[in-house]
Amino acid sequence: MEHLEGGEQQSTPIWAIFSDLMAALVGILVLILVWVIGVQLELSQSLAEETERRVAEEERRMALEQALEDPLTKGLVTFRDGRIGISGNVLFELNSDQLQADGVAVLQSLVAPLQTYLDQHDELLMVSGFTDDLPMHQGNRYQDNWGLSAQRALTVTRTLMELGLPDDRVFAAAFGPHHPAVPNVDAESRAQNRRVEISTVPRAPAMAAETGSGDGNE
Tens of pLDDT, residues 56-98:
677 777 877 887 888 888 888 899 888 999 999 999 998 889 9
What is the set of domains in the chain, with CATH numbers?
59-212 (3.30.1330.60)
Mean pLDDT of all residues belonging to the chain = 83
Max mean pLDDT range (17-21, 22-26, 196-200): 196-200
Helix (H, G, I), strand (E, B) or coil at 30: helix
**Global pTM value:** 0.68
The CA distance from 33 to 10, in Å, is 37
Residues 6+ apart with CB under 8 A from 30: none
Nearest to 211 by CA among 113, 111, 123, 125: 123
Asked if 193 contacts 180 with a C-beta cutoff of 8 angstroms, the reply is: yes
Q: Taking a C-beta distance cutoff of 8 angstroms, is the pair 114, 107 a contact?
A: no
